[in-house]
A and B are shown apart, each in its own frame.
Chain A
Amino acid sequence: MDKYKRLTLASCVFACLSASITNAETLRFSIGEDPESLYNVATNSLTANSVINTYLLERLVYFDAEGQAQPWLAESWEVSADQKTLTFQLREGITFHDGTPFNAAAVVYHFDAIRDPNNASPQAAKLGPLDTVEALSENSVQFTFSDPYAPFFNMLAGEAGGINSPSAVQAGGAGYGRSPVGTGPFKFESWLPGSEISLVRNDDYHGQVRADAMNQGAPHAERVVLSVISEAGVAQAALEAGELTGAGLQADTIGQFVDHPDFTTVIDETATNLVFLEFNSAKAPWDNPEMRRAIGYAIDRKAAAAAAWSGYASVALSPLAVGIPGHDAEIGVSYGTPYDPGKAAALLDELGWVDSNGDGIREKDGQAAEFLIKSYAGFTHITRTLQVIQANLDDIGIKAELETADWGAFYPSLLEDDWDMDLMRWTSNDAGILTELFKSPGHRNKLAPNPAIDDLLTKCDTTLDPVIRFECVANAQKALLKDMTIVPILTSWDVFATQANVKDYTIDYLGYLLPGDVRIEE
């Protein structure tokens, strides 16, 4: 801005005026990498998802603040009595950016594309037991499943649910991912590979139909420029230099922006990630739930949140992340294992793990309590959490050895038998994650069949009525805590900072920005 001020003084007031207007109407954000494609059938990259689904494409449903599916491009829907058939009535009169109509055929085309083996779509598994997708009429579409599949609503509202213009997909061929066409509030304008993606306001926007959006018309901003900045430190420097409207923050530097008069911080505490300890329950002593519970009491989650995330994280006691619909904090409090090293030590004593030779490490039947914790490398927050865990276990007489490796080496290695615990972090928007991870045999084949958990999880996944499903998910959390299948540790918050004059920067339940709402105040 300084430069423009000097320009005004020197010569023309008019030039300055137009320059500042352009600035006010352009939202500038950063993205961490150049997406490989902006076609949601071809990629499951989080960056691509944030660009596609925030600005360009719309979904049939969105999740409201309570995590309930609400109508968006779909006007209403019906679930059949056997819960295997879903029929959606679509909104009429909506057109894609290329002028073609949004209709049932477009929805069918999208889901067929995900299932087409020629597309090798990384989204295909998210469709669950989907059998057929049919257009019943111009504006009515029917999904039929071989079994009821509750996580499907999450799929519809999430990354793979955005509907593309079929004619644009066909015309674009392999290059479609470089010029996506949807029905969203912004249109794709240009892409300078590796550098920036430019979007322009959809002036023919049908009008926002999400009930949670403040601005029901076309977006306030005229243009969105997304710059590729792979170094988080550089993105923050760009924010400080006024080159970005807003940016996501790293835990280490949040402090510099909170309470700073030039910036507004937006903290999303209902994030959907969970950091947790898992056990090799296929072998002793981890086949005993009480042993796992002892570990649960030993972990100082607050210390981990402070060390790994500068305190910008919630302590987690429930096995379902706070931001996932169905999360029940009460259950975590009643059935979880809050930090209590005394209780942990007492439990270990009871189980026969005592330090008989006075070396500070407990033993049982001649075996010293020395265990291996595995995790993945390359993330400071994981390393720091591991260190806190190691110190916590040391406090109760357990010696933990830490081993980290690249994800690609670490994750398959959990199928082996040479480990005791692993530190994991999963992000998901749906309670179906519990099934994916913890229904026997579990995602790493270590969980013995446990009808109390398995049957519940099956029930949750096949119950489409949200109220009954949440009840079921609550019971599943209870069952998992009784079994202490995992030790939940924390959920890190998503923290953003914007320039102080940016208003109505709102993040929805699934973490998407509502871009039409964002305004820059002069």
Chain B
Amino acid sequence: MEVLMGSYIIRRLLMMIPIIFGILLITFLIKALIPTDAVTALFSGTVTEDKAAEAIAQIRAKYDLDKPWYQQFVIYVGNVLQGDLGESIRTRQPVMDEIGYRYVNTLILTAAALFIAILVGLVTGIISAYYKDTWLDVTSMSVGMMGISMPAFFFGFVLIFIFSVQLRWLPVIGRGNFESLILPAVTLGFIEAAALSRITRSSMLDVLSREYIRAARAKGLSETFILFKHALPNALLSILTIIGLQIGNLLGGAFIIEVIFGWHGIGELAVKAIQWRDFTITQAVILISAGTYVLINLVVDVLYTWVDPRVRYD
């Protein structure tokens, strides 16, 4: 058993290599199609652009931007395999220095948002299912509908307007502390909570109509016991699948939210790097995000076996 699980995990980890390789290849192909590079961006809007041709050529050569894309790709992959992500073309600082702490910030934001999503989503979902068709159900599902329909950046601005500009409870400017974490985490978390709540409700409803629940009730077990010991664990499998997918959404959604709230994570960095055509940063962010996503999915798959012992990987 243990051995089987171990080899499964190793197999999945090995599968990450072609996935990430493929993603990088696509990134380089897109990059080849974009007419500007970081050096043009650095010099853009200045009349001296043409006069600085020598300086421009020099920087291009330094970052291999003068080579065809497939050569750049080979050089890049070679460097990554040696653990070298290069340096930012814009700031000329090592990519790891630029990304390291921001990656941690993104994980903090994602974790906080996930916590809010799970807490709110599960609680409202269970309540809705249990009190099906009552005002509680209708209210929580309507609020949920709003959450699903509203774009995150809009909801973010609404929260800034209410809690920062009007009430002045929370800061607009992100400073990386707990106070600054609340609004972006709530924005991201609320939207995912809405989706999670609906899934929780429907899978709970499905489980609650099963024979074994009726049997449990017939045995005279308490409703709380039935709900949390019999119904929830069985509903959890599909909920877990959604949560796994949502972590991906959160990582992606964080890109825009980080910019709005000035939360200095890899999303904000990626948006700026794209604007600046700073491809060494963009590639590293893509590499790290993809790796994180694949790893999290692996963790979720392993969690299945723990939630439902019937699930086996062999």
Binding site for B on A (CB under 8 A): 1-3, 30, 33-34, 36-37, 42-44, 117, 120-122, 124-126, 174, 192-196, 227-231, 233-234, 237-238, 240-244, 406-409, 411-412, 426, 428, 433, 436-437, 443
Contact = CB atoms under 8 A, between A and B. Distances in A.
B192 interface: no
Contact of A120 (B55, B160, B272): B55
A408 B175 contact: no
A241 B91 contact: no
A206 to B, nearest CB: 32
3 interchain residue pairs of minimum CB distance: A408-B36, A125-B48, A125-B51
B161 A125 contact: no
Nearest to B91: A36
B47 interface: yes
A193 B98 contact: yes
A30 B272 CA distance: 16
B209 interface: no
A431 to B, nearest CB: 13
B102 A194 contact: yes
A174 B87 CA distance: 12
Interface stretch (B127-135, B195-203, B221-229, B256-264): B256-264
14 contacts: A36-B42, A36-B88, A36-B92, A37-B92, A44-B43, A117-B55, A122-B52, A193-B264, A194-B269, A195-B176, A196-B175, A234-B160, A241-B172, A243-B171
B51 A228 contact: no
A428 B45 CA distance: 11
Contacts of A193: 98, 264
A464 to B, nearest CB: 21
A44 B90 CA distance: 11
Contacts of B42: 36, 43-44, 122
B272 to A, nearest CB: 7
Query: Counting chain A CB atoms within 10 Å of each CB, which of B55, B88, B173, B260 scores highest?
Result: B173
B214 interface: no
A237 B47 contact: no
Contacts, number: 115
A511 B54 CA distance: 30
Contact of B47 (A117, A195, A230, A426): A426
Contact of B45 (A233, A234, A407): A407
B46 interface: yes
Contacts of A194: 102, 264, 268-269
B305 interface: no
Contacts of B176: 192, 195
B172 A234 contact: yes
Contact of A37 (B41, B49, B52, B91): B91
Given A37-B91, A120-B59, A426-B47, A408 B172 contact: no
A30 B42 CA distance: 21
Contacts of B51: 125
Contacts of B160: 234, 237
Nearest to B51: A125
Contacts of B47: 426, 428, 433, 436-437, 443
A120 B98 CA distance: 22
Given A194-B269, A241-B168, A243-B171, A408 B262 contact: no
Contacts of A195: 174-176, 262, 264
Nearest to B88: A36
A497 to B, nearest CB: 14
Nearest to A118: B58
A229 B262 contact: yes
Contacts of A33: 272
Contacts of B165: 237, 240-241
Contacts of B271: 230
Given A2-B168, A33-B272, A231-B259, A122 B46 contact: yes
Contact of B173 (A126, A243, A411, A437): A243
B44 interface: yes
Contacts of A241: 164-165, 168, 171-172
B172 A237 contact: yes
Nearest to A33: B272
Interface in B19-58: 35-37, 40-52, 54-55, 58
A2 B163 CA distance: 13
Contacts of B272: 33-34, 230
B166 to A, nearest CB: 9
Given A117-B54, A121-B55, A229-B262, A238 B44 contact: no
Interface string B249-275: 000000000011110100011011000
Nearest to B45: A407
B264 A238 contact: no
A44 B102 CA distance: 26
Contact of B36 (A37, A117, A230, A407): A407
B52 A227 contact: no
B73 interface: no
A233 B259 CA distance: 11
B69 interface: no
Interface string B203-239: 0000000000000000000000000000000000000
A117 B58 contact: yes
B155 interface: no
B48 A409 contact: no
B36 A238 contact: no
Contact of A124 (B55, B164, B268, B269): B55
B89 to A, nearest CB: 9
B50 to A, nearest CB: 8
A124 B40 contact: no
Given A44-B46, A174-B92, A408 B260 contact: no
B46 to A, nearest CB: 6
Query: Counting chain B CB atoms within 10 Å of each CB, which of A120, A241, A412 scores highest?
Result: A241
Nearest to B262: A229
A33 B91 CA distance: 12
Query: Counting chain A CB atoms within 10 Å of each CB, which of B44, B48, B262, B264 scores highest?
Result: B262
